[in-house]
Chains A and B, each alone.
Chain A
Amino acid sequence: MAVLPELGLVRSGDLDEVLAAVDYDHAAYAGGTELVPAMGLGLRRPAAIVDLKRVEALKKIEVDAEVGSVTIGAAVTHRRLSDHPAVREHLPTLAAAASRVGNARVRSTGTVGGNLCFAEPRSDLGCVLVALDATAEVRSTRGARTLSIDELIVGAFETSLEPDEILTAVAVPFEPPGMSYWKLQSYERPTLGVALVVSADQWEVTVGAATERPTRAVLGVGDAAGLAAFVDRLELSDDMTGPPDYKRSVLRAHLQRALGAAL
């Protein structure tokens, strides 16, 4: 068994104390589903972990009916997200996606914030949240800022967070009508994920998992040529689940079926 090197722990229920502790060598830690294996493999060697799980504010799920949004704390687990009545009511596609993240163990401990901040491209939540126009609430001892999920995830395993910043919550507008999420998956992570928002005048297509980061196109309804050009332009990954051509064929077939577009 890989034995982890000596590791420090900072644990506090106070967000300010947690923020004061986080930096590159003191890694934000919640479910540990990504960080612990990464430490085991020696890919990440923080001197200490800073436990976010005792900060109650990071575990809240709050509905703002006036604005029409749900704010999800970064330390909310996938299981709590998928089981939460308000999430199921206002964000059914996100709830369904969360109920199929990883496996039942990952869903028990893995968190929304960890999923986004690890920025593993083969993720469902990033794709769905970009399609939902969600925003990330970010804090450090220097202050707070808000950015779109699109701005948060800048590349494979890369976010725009500074080393002393943590994601505290994600604010998600209520799901619009005509939304769906479909994925192709053969192992523990998705191979290809496609979020669609179809309205009377627009096709919004967000492709994730096979792309470095969720990639969105907004097209006029029936714009098959524009959709084909978007699909052709996407840079898709080449890995054990298949070459880019295969993933492009699957993507085309799904879009044809879902949108009735001839591609």
Chain B
Amino acid sequence: MTAPVTSTVIRFRVNGHDREMLVPVRLTVAELLRDRLGLTGTKVSCEMQVCGACTVVVDGDPVSSCAALACDLDGTEVLTVEGLAQGRDLHPVQEAFMEANALQCGFCTPGFIMMAVALLDAHPDAGAEDVREWMDGNLCRCTGYAPIETAVTLAASRLTAATAEDGQ
């Protein structure tokens, strides 16, 4: 039988930087990002895949970093909230959250933003139904959700318009 190992080397890319690290198998992606890489924008709350605060994007898919193991990142590309802005220019989703007042205390915001980024990446033409279907796995205890929905819809329309402009 192949003997189990308790740590493994992973090679992956996070927010555009290549990394090679030896990680224990028991380490979660959230622990890797927050404790080892100092990327504390990713929040941890329920640890049950329910609240969405820890959402990051792995190879384009939204993932609960609290319930994913770091050993699975080998060969992947990870995007966290820290990787969105270009210098001082915010990502269109971040801009839209600010404009629509889609945050109050801000704890859930990185998770919501990363989920919206994953959605608009996969479905640039996302409609109201898609927005609800993708965002309904993220919990916010302040806003009442309507401003968040407005923000994601606003970001979607801007990204679509920008893509159309690029195409001309």
* Closest CB in chain B relative to A193 CB, distance in Å: 17
- Could you tell me how many residues of chain A have their Cβ less than 8 Å away from some Cβ of chain B? 38
Given contacts A33-B49, A103-B52, A103-B136, contact A7 B30 (CB under 8 A): no
A20 to chain B: closest residue by CB: B1
Give Cα A21 to B2, complex, Å.
7
Residues of chain B from 41 to 79 with CB closer than 8 A to chain A in the complex: 44, 47-50, 52, 55, 58, 61-64, 66-69, 71-72
B124 within 8 A of A: no
A78-117 CB contacts (< 8 Å) to partner B: 79, 99-100, 102-106, 108-109
Give the interface segment out of A8-16, A132-140, A144-152: A8-16
Task: State the CA gap A106–B2 with chains docked (Å).
Answer: 29
* Contact A104 to B62, CB < 8 A, known contacts A1-B31, A49-B25: yes
- Within the assembled complex, what's the spacing in Å between the Cα atoms of A12 and B55? 28
A220 within 8 A of partner (CB): no
Chain A residues with CB below 8 A from B27, complex form: 4
Say how far A166's CB is from chain B's closest CB, in angstroms: 15
Whether, in the assembled complex, B15 has its beta carbon less than 8 Å from a beta carbon of chain A, the answer is no
The one of B4, B28, B50, B134 in contact with A8, judged by C-beta atoms closer than 8 angstroms, is: B4
Give 10 pairs: A residue, B residue, CB < 8 Å, sorted on A.
A1-B31, A3-B31, A6-B25, A10-B4, A17-B1, A26-B4, A103-B52, A104-B115, A106-B64, A108-B61
